[in-house]
């Protein structure tokens, strides 16, 4: 079982595993771009960044930067989700 698999199952895992470190670094790059974006999420760059960051983005999602998370891909958003300024989602499981 990989460290990622352990993490998402809620088992003890090694956070500095190279795969997990790379996943966090990739998420941080997307978060930096997302948090610097100025367009609304309905169209354009911010919606594309959310689609790349999250596991799923539902219709009517609204995200007001800055937003923070660990990995992003573990987050699945339903319809009409609203994240206000400075939202933090700890998505390690």
This prediction has a pTM of: 0.88
Burial 14-53 (b: 16+ CB within 10 A, else e): eeeeeebeebbeebeebbeebeebeeebeeeebbbbbebb
pLDDT digits (tens, 9 = 90+) for 54-66: 999 998 888 889 9
Element (H or E) spanning 68, and its range? strand 67-69
Q: Give me the CATH number covering residue 65.
A: 2.160.10.10
CB 59 within 8 A of CB 40: no
Tally the domains of the chain. Answer: 1
User: For residue range 71-85, what is the model confidence (pLDDT) as tens digits?
Assistant: 999 999 999 999 999
- Residue 76 belongs to what domain range? 3-89
């Amino acid at each position: 079982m990989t460290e990622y698999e352990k993490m998402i199952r809620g088992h003890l895992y090694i956070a500095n595993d190279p795969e997990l470190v790379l996943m966090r670094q990739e998420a941080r790059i997307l978060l930096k771009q997302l948090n610097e974006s100025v367009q609304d999420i309905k169209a354009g760059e911010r919606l594309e960044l959310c689609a790349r960051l999250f596991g799923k983005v539902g219709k009517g999602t609204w995200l007001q930067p800055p937003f923070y998370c660990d990995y992003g891909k573990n987050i699945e958003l339903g319809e009409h989700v609203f994240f206000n300024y400075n939202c933090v989602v700890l998505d390690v499981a």
